[in-house]
Structure 1
């Protein structure tokens, strides 16, 4: 199940801050100093989205609801003068799959990045990388398109690293199966399968989103940005295939585990059967001579005890030879 990270209470939102490429200055808390020629990137908390829509932007109300409420659905909606993207990054932390939502408003004059009020480790890392991307975007002819593409590329890069880690975990699980089989491996392999399924689902949605952006029905992207997005779209397609292969690998691991567990159980049953075949006849012989009858011929014979022991040895030898001939061991 996808769950949101439980954060320490001392973590707070990062507020609203941004950078105007037209004037080359940073700003915080308000957009009042921006002019008509401004071309800016803005990072804010979900709680700021309602105020921004009321004071500055003519965003559709449904996008504001999506930005301020955590859900598990990725979507792209292209409006006449802006794009709205709601996507999430999935990362593995111990045995959990963790959810960090990212919402984007993109237009020719602005890019607004809406991040969770309580940044987790993933979001804090994204903020650090995004600040470096802003520096790299300065001086570019279309800095906002560059940053828009950068966010998808960042998700793709992080997804690639996550899939490689998952592949390593699966290879370790496969090697462990060669050594021994225990009940804990079943839950471990099942968890790996859940992760692979979740990553495949994520990358399928991202790949479909990339195709929608490439359609560019509202003409927000220039040719250079479309070229970048085409490369990223192909990369997401390959990652989706990689995730699919990992899911199949997890299925094979589960089948391999069940096969080895079944083989182990058969070996245990075989061992118990061998023990029963050896000691069954001996139990019958000891039961016969253990009956409380007075007239048992061997009771009065001086070699009766040794005869019974010899009979047991002979029967055991015959059983051994029969099983040996049938290749039971």
Structure 2
């Protein structure tokens, strides 16, 4: 698909790059790029293998700026990324995409954007903004979820949250890496080494850099929060285990003297005078009860119960 950048993106059946002075946007499949890349006169021989893309980056060439995108799926951040490539010069930008992602983003731009001062720089800015448009909401949702998990842990109502917290931490790590790559990309665009962009319009890339920097900081903060929640759960688990051990210790301490009495009088020596005494049994029972009561009072005062 081909578009000219006017007050809105206007679709056209064919680009007339040599004659038309308006900047363009082209979206091609990798097969279409191989067939028609000479028509764009960007002076590059870029063979695209979309499956080999692993990061978002930009590279400055003599007559063009090329790069790739690896965009996490916001519905399944740990799942496969959406991958596509691009090449641009002062005349316009070409996207090489087999997934349909770029066409979807451009469709959103067409339906929501109208420019007073149309330019390639403004289009690229809006394109990048569309990629991260939902991220603030996603991060706020994760923040609230972590907050709920923490409250439940402190209230003793949470089961084992380790798996979910680990998944959130993994997603945040992937997003942090994604933002770092977008920062590098936007800084490369802002640098404008080949003078493809009007200097007054590079401010759009600066604005995007600032937004990504804030998202990166928020992501890093949430990841630290998730680590703190993991440590909090472990500490609460240790407290519960300590309480159980304390209770078992108290029970053992109470029954230890009773066990001694039972073992002592269970030896059945022939000449144990207590065995012949009629009051021996009530006395032993009374002594055992007194031991239990005294032990309970002692442990209660020590706040071990």
> Which TM-score applies when normalising by structure 2?
0.86
SS of 2:71's partner is: strand
Alpha-carbon distance in 1 for matches of 2:134, 2:143:
14
Of residues 220, 225, 232, the one that matches 1:249 is 225
Q: Give RMSD over aligned pairs.
A: 2.8
- Residue 47 (structure 2) pairs with residue 64 (structure 1): yes
Following superposition, the deviation at residue 290 of structure 1 comes to 2.5
C-alpha separation between the residues in 2 aligned to 1:95 and 1:237?
19
Over residues 112-170 of structure 1, what are the superposed CA-to-partner deviations in whole Å (9 max), with x where a residue is unaligned? 2223x345xxx3xx634422424667776544322211122122323323222221221
Give the superposition deviation at 1:242.
1.1
Matches within 5 A, 1:95-174: 96-115=78-97, 117-119=98-100, 123=101, 127-134=103-110, 142-174=118-150
2:197 to 214, 221, 235: 221
- For the structure 1 residues 229 and 139, does the alpha-carbon distance in structure 2 shift closer, same or farther, using more than 3 Å as the test? closer
Q: After superposition, what is the alpha-carbon deviation per residue over 1:173-196, rounded to whole angstroms, capped at 9, x for unaligned?
A: 212212227663112222222222
Q: Give 1:201 shift.
A: 1.7
Residue 290 of structure 1 is matched in structure 2 by: 266
1:13 aligned partner: none
The 5-angstrom pairing of residues 43-58 of structure 1 reads: 43-53=27-37, 56-58=40-42
Q: Which residue of 1 aligns with 2:244?
A: 268
Instruction: Say if 1:102 and 1:113, in contact at 8 Å, map to a contact too.
Output: yes
The answer on whether the counterparts of 1:47 and 1:68 sit within 8 Å (CA) in structure 2 is: no
Matched, 1:194 2:170: yes
Task: Tell me the equivalent position of 1:19.
Answer: 3
1:50·1:64 contact (CA, 8 Å) conserved in 2?
Answer: yes
Return 48-57 or 248-257, whichever deviates more.
48-57
User: Aligned pair in 2 of structure 1 residues 278, 59: CA closer, same or farther (>3 Å)?
Assistant: farther
- Measured at CA, do residues 60 and 294 of structure 1 come closer, stay the same or move farther in structure 2, by a change above 3 Å? farther
**Against the structure 1 CA distance between its residues 296 and 51, is the aligned structure 2 distance closer, same or farther, given a 3 Å change threshold?**
farther
- In structure 1, the partner of 2:60 is 78
* Alignment partner, residue 304 of structure 1: 280
1:177 pairs with one of 153, 157, 165: 153
The whole-number CA distance in structure 1 between the counterparts of 2:10 and 2:167 is 48
Q: What is the CA–CA distance in structure 1 between the aligned matches of 2:77 and 2:287, rounded to whole Å?
A: 60
Rounded Cα–Cα distance in structure 2 between residues aligned with 1:328 and 1:286: 26
Q: Given the alignment of the two structures, is residue 230 of structure 1 paired with residue 203 of structure 2, yes or no?
A: no
Change in Cα spacing, 1:98 to 1:272, as seen in structure 2 (3 Å) is farther
Between the two proteins, the alignment pairs up a number of residues equal to 301
SS at match of 1:41: strand
Q: What SS does the aligned partner of 1:184 have? A: coil
Compared with structure 1, are the counterparts of its residues 246 and 263 closer, same or farther at alpha carbon in structure 2 (3 Å cutoff)? same
